[in-house]
Structure 1
Amino acid sequence: MKNIIEGEKKFESSRSIKNKALRINLNKNIYGTFAEIGAGQETVRNFFRAGGASGTIAKTISAYDKDFSDAIYGLEPQGRYVTEARLKDMLNFETQLIEERISREKHPKKLFFSYANTVATIDFAKKYKGHGWLGIKFQTQPKTDYNQILIHVQFHENNAAHQQITLGLLGVNLIYGSFYYYDNPKKLLKSLYDHIDHDKIEIDAINFHGPSFEKVDNRLISLELLRNGITEAVMFGADGNNVLPASVLYKKNILTLRGSFRPVTRVNMNMYEESLNLFLQEKKVEEEDAVVIFEITLNNLKAEGDINEKDFLDRADLLCSLGHTVMISNFQEYYKVVEYFSQHTKRQMGLTMGVNTLTDIFNPEYYTNLSGGILEAFGKLFFKNLKIYLYPLKENDEILNGEKIDIPEGMKELYQYFKDNKRVVDIENYEVEILDIHSRKVHQMIREGEEGWERMLPEKTARQIHEENLFQSI
């Protein structure tokens, strides 16, 4: 491989964008195409300006007109062009084209690539900041299957020209990282922000595929986005691949369950099933327009120190196997979750939680970081179409619910107001016999080899823990 991609890797972090583009241009084996729609040809512009571009650029295209774009890449069934599907169509078409038009016999050592983006920058009214997709298909050995990296970004700058420049820098970093850091995806991810401030552009979804990334778990890549402060929340689906939060949440009725899920217990599933039943009884909530999100906070993952990646994947595997969408977030306070969801929907939202959690929410000390304190938080929390579905707690043989709850003095009238207006709803159809189950105790029993923990979990979950030896070394 070193004979194909030449040069030492010392002082990589100090390379300017121009030097990155020049290094690619001077590598006689890297050759490809650029297709950029929506924000000018900002990425390829850096390669032209660096010099020596004739050795790298086979073709560059910007099919702005929709009819031209459709004629080249095919019709978009929904008439939307800033989508992951459009990006994939562009990458697949351009990759096939370069394979057809460039002779392998004449260029046996060439590493082909196709870079593409489709974006919408900020509108004139500055109401929508803009977003987009960018990606690359590339080879790390001649005549081999292609690797692929797909990225979704949210723009945060208030000027379209500035957004275009930032997109161009990100594109260069992506191409450079694909060839020089493909063997270290975490380093590749960090390098995407070389010479770019984090507050200018946000990556909220990224997926790696291909032979060079066979050992890459995209859920861990999602975790790195959070660890590096690149985004506030990431999601992945039941298949383990990262998904764009907007595509999951857009105009949906959203029910959220937060927990450690270490592991998923019968209590968790009872909370989920019964709160979903209540949620679907709400006016204007139809099952086909409802989505359930299982949320784990970054603080929860850090509860015992540094994040243990195997522990994270064990939890994720169990949730994914049950067919659930998982969100990892930096939102310690619940009102931040509601604010985040409100960016994508104005429809009904529900939070499922236990009595202890609700008690914390009504504790003023929980909001010392807000200038407006608890009233500001509640204004954000309950301003939207939100209901809390409250699961009971068994304490000293007594069952505590919304009628029997220890609310701090000074907050009781406020709590009663929300209770009387049915913003806090008790889950009444619970299983009394499982209220003594706690995931921390189950986790301890698994680690210490105690018997009997299986009955505390869904049958499928217990079987999977046995078969895959989950949580055994954590």
Structure 2
Amino acid sequence: MATTFDKAQELNLDPAIYGTFAEIGAGQETANWFFRASGSAGMVAKSISAYDMTMSDAIYGKSDRYVSRQRLQQMLDHEYAILLERLGPKRGKTTTFFSLCNTVRARGYQDTGECHGWVGLRFQLKPGDPPSDIFIHVRLLDDETQEQKQALGVVGVNLIHAAFRHRGHLGRFVSSLVENLRPGQVEVDMLKFHGHGYGFFDNRLCSLALVEAGLTEAAMFRPDGEVVQAAEALYKKPILLLRGSFDPVTKLHLQMLEQARGVFSSALEPGEEAIELCEMTMSNLLRGSAVDHVDFIDRCDALQALGKT
């Protein structure tokens, strides 16, 4: 397994890869790895960190929540557009451009809140291609701020390296995200591919791969199949949950939900609606010692056809 330094240096020395870094909330730890390694001028076009909210809003626009996928999307849109505008005419024919952005809440002074962040990579599969996106949500589990920052930097390097070296193998991609980290340092609870080259990719398999690899305990999809980060989707919402194998979905499942909904609704505030979740455990999905991915997708399709999350 290559060290984080080795990965950074390998990418620095690849003449086709060039891009920008924008990191908010936990230092500039990803960019720092590339600066420490030799040849950073061949990889890093710009590194920025707009910590102040007013400065950040002036660059990326306002956002309801600063550590959110919405803010990450704003950062990627801005940074990648500037990169192409300024460097595309000069080296666009020979360069695969990228922008790595993150927005993070690390441990602050006397802070006891959840430490987590969104990390995104917008990149080209080959020179001149439309962009592709990879989004991950990370929970930082170390108690000390410095350790959280170091872990985030390693994850950032791993993400860039995996995007350019392992994107053709999902299992290898997922496992590489936490290379050179101790067990329990981070949890990666959402992974999504989007854009050019991923139009027919089923991101539900990404979520399953995260659970299989032990990077997270749960994954969540909306009725339309959209992969979401559970804590964000369920934030301050009442939840009605039905656990089962759903192999197949039966009338009994639907009747149980209907009866429970009637009782649960009476306890809610006027106008408040519960989110209904149908939960499958990994033990429900095992066929022998392995998970049948086709069977998993079939069960998800059946539930989602009924409008279930």
Query: Does the pair score TM above 0.5?
Result: yes
User: 1:239 — aligned with what?
Assistant: 224
User: 1:291 — aligned with what?
Assistant: 275
Larger Rg: 1
Shift of 1:249: 1.9
Paired AA for residue 15 in structure 1: A
User: 1:135 — aligned with what?
Assistant: 120
Is the contact between residue 174 and residue 213 of structure 2 (CA under 8 Å) also seen in structure 1? no
For residues 116-265 of structure 1, the aligned pairs below 5 Å read: 116-265=101-250
Is the contact between residue 129 and residue 158 of structure 1 (CA under 8 Å) also seen in structure 2? no
User: 1:384 — aligned with what?
Assistant: none
Shift of 1:295: 0.4
Q: Would you say 1:60 and 2:44 are equivalent positions?
A: no
Is the contact between residue 87 and residue 118 of structure 1 (CA under 8 Å) also seen in structure 2? yes
Q: Please give the alpha-carbon distance, in whole angstroms, between the structure 1 residues aligned to 2:91 and 2:184.
A: 45
User: 2:255 — aligned with what?
Assistant: 270
Secondary structure of 1:104's aligned partner: helix
Q: Would you say 1:310 and 2:294 are equivalent positions?
A: yes
Is the contact between residue 265 and residue 273 of structure 2 (CA under 8 Å) also seen in structure 1? no
Structure 1 residues not aligned, in runs of 5+ = 1-13, 326-474
User: 1:18 — aligned with what?
Assistant: 5
State the percentage of identical aligned residues: 42
Shift of 1:244: 0.8
Secondary structure of 2:197's aligned partner: helix
Shift of 1:274: 1.6
Change (3 A) 1:130 1:264: same
Q: Please give the alpha-carbon distance, in whole angstroms, between the structure 1 residues aligned to 2:231 and 2:82.
A: 32
Paired AA for residue 29 in structure 1: A
Paired AA for residue 101 in structure 1: R
Question: Of the candidates 42, 62, 83, which is equivalent to residue 29 of structure 2?
Answer: 42
Q: Please give the alpha-carbon distance, in whole angstroms, between the structure 2 residues aligned to 1:227 and 1:172.
A: 22
Divergent runs of 4+, >2 A: 103-107, 123-126, 210-216, 284-289
Is the contact between residue 103 and residue 118 of structure 2 (CA under 8 Å) also seen in structure 1? yes
Paired AA for residue 278 in structure 2: F
Q: Please give the alpha-carbon distance, in whole angstroms, between the structure 2 residues aligned to 1:106 and 1:279.
A: 60
For residues 363-402 of structure 1, the aligned pairs below 5 Å read: none
Shift of 1:123: 3.3
User: 1:29 — aligned with what?
Assistant: 16
Which gives a bigger RCO, structure 1 or 2 (Cα 8 Å, sep 6+)?
Answer: 2
Shift of 1:305: 4.0
TM-score w.r.t. length of structure 2 = 0.96
Secondary structure of 1:92's aligned partner: helix
Secondary structure of 2:103's aligned partner: strand
Shift of 1:127: 1.8
Q: State the Cα deviation string for residues 437-458 of structure 1 (Å, max 9, x = none).
A: xxxxxxxxxxxxxxxxxxxxxx
Q: Please give the alpha-carbon distance, in whole angstroms, between the structure 2 residues aligned to 1:177 and 1:303.
A: 29
Shift of 1:158: 0.2
Secondary structure of 1:246's aligned partner: helix
Question: Of the candidates 68, 71, 74, which is equivalent to residue 61 of structure 2?
Answer: 74
Paired AA for residue 306 in structure 1: A
Shift of 1:287: 5.3
Q: State the Cα deviation string for residues 423-447 of structure 1 (Å, max 9, x = none).
A: xxxxxxxxxxxxxxxxxxxxxxxxx
TM-score w.r.t. length of structure 1 = 0.63
Q: State the Cα deviation string for residues 243-263 of structure 1 (Å, max 9, x = none).
A: 111122222211110111112
Is the contact between residue 21 and residue 48 of structure 2 (CA under 8 Å) also seen in structure 1? yes
Shift of 1:285: 4.3
Is the contact between residue 25 and residue 105 of structure 2 (CA under 8 Å) also seen in structure 1? yes
Q: Please give the alpha-carbon distance, in whole angstroms, between the structure 2 residues aligned to 1:288 and 1:29.
A: 52
Q: Please give the alpha-carbon distance, in whole angstroms, between the structure 1 residues aligned to 2:90 and 2:211.
A: 45
Count of matched residue positions in the alignment of Structure 1 and Structure 2: 309
Is the contact between residue 148 and residue 209 of structure 1 (CA under 8 Å) also seen in structure 2? yes
Change (3 A) 1:287 1:230: farther
Change (3 A) 1:303 1:287: farther
Q: Please provide the CA RMSD for this pair.
A: 1.4
Q: Please give the alpha-carbon distance, in whole angstroms, between the structure 2 residues aligned to 1:34 and 1:289.
A: 40
Shift of 1:94: 0.7
Q: State the Cα deviation string for residues 127-153 of structure 1 (Å, max 9, x = none).
A: 224111001000111111111110111
Change (3 A) 1:287 1:302: farther
Shift of 1:104: 3.2
Shift of 1:213: 2.8
Secondary structure of 2:126's aligned partner: coil
User: 1:361 — aligned with what?
Assistant: none
Structure 2 residues not aligned, in runs of 5+ = none
